[in-house]
Amino acid sequence: MTNYLVTVDKYETVLKKSDVAILDSIKIDDSNFHLLHHNQAFDLKVLHSDFSNKSLTVSVNGNTYEVKIEDEYDQQVNKMGLLAVASQKVNTVKSPMPGLIVDVMVNAGDAVSEGTPLIVLSAMKMENIILSQGDGIVKSIEVKKDDAVEKGQLIIEME
């Protein structure tokens, strides 16, 4: 029998397929439903759905909840740690090509995460935004605006 792990906000519960089957529900339209459960009426509206992550934002009688649903496969994958991603620590940021520093977007001491814009580098008549490849704290910035840099030159040191 299929069991679903349902997380509503931060509270978890296990539902069986038979639990879902006995719900007395009426679909009003694509996002609105009327439910009866233990002689209580509930108006449910789906505000947002993300089927790839199996999550929903719903409103029940005017109260909003974040809902995540995991089937047995999802639960097994999580238990095995196959989706766990370790954040990458970055120590240095080097120029990927020769060019001119157009803008420095961070300061020493700033905490950055993967994807944070660091530097704007002009090369071959194009402006390239150099992004952080991982998490860290800017230890020092080795260049300033209008500096010319070579490929592989140290731009930012991280800690």
Q: What is the pLDDT of residue 89?
A: 62
Q: Which fold is adopted by the domain 92-158?
A: OB fold (Dihydrolipoamide Acetyltransferase, E2P) (2.40.50)
- 83 has a pLDDT exceeding 80: no
Question: 3-state DSSP helix/strand/coil percent for the chain, to nearest 5?
Answer: 10, 55, 35
When pLDDT is cut at 50, 70 and 90, the band that residue 84 belongs to is low
Locate all alpha helices (DSSP H) within the chain, ordered by sequence: 17-21, 72-80
- Band (pLDDT 50/70/90 cuts) for residue 19 is confident
Would you say 148 and 102 are in contact if contact means Cβ atoms under 8 Å apart?
no
| Residues constituting the chain | 159
What are the sequence ranges of the domains in the chain?
3-80, 92-158
DSSP 3: E
> Among residues 39, 33, 3, 8, which one has the least CA distance to residue 19?
3
pTM as predicted: 0.48
